[in-house]
């Protein structure tokens, strides 16, 4: 309930995972359509760099 309330104030949530997206559906359920949820995943044990996460946030959530 709290996550859904907080999500109303956000442009979106970026679900960063080292997988194919197993958690993104849970995040979408938690926000209850209060904001968009985008997935940014990767396979092979490669950790996302801060720059990659920032760039994904800009392109998928902020739109620029």
pLDDT in tens, 1-31: 888 899 999 999 999 999 989 999 999 999 9
| pLDDT recorded at residue 27 | 94
Number of H helices, E strands in the chain: 3, 2
Rounded mean pLDDT, 29-55: 94
Question: How much is the mean pLDDT over the chain?
Answer: 93
pTM score = 0.85
Residue 31 and residue 9: Cα distance in Å, rounded? Answer: 11
| pLDDT recorded at residue 64 | 60
Residue 60 and residue 55: Cα distance in Å, rounded? Answer: 8
């Amino acid at each position: 309930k709290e996550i859904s309330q907080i999500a109303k104030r956000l442009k979106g949530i970026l679900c960063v995972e080292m997988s194919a997206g197993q958690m993104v559906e849970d995040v979408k359920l938690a926000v209850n359509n209060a904001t968009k949820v985008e997935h940014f995943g990767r396979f092979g044990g490669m950790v996302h760099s801060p720059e990659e996460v920032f760039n994904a946030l800009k392109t998928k959530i902020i739109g620029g």
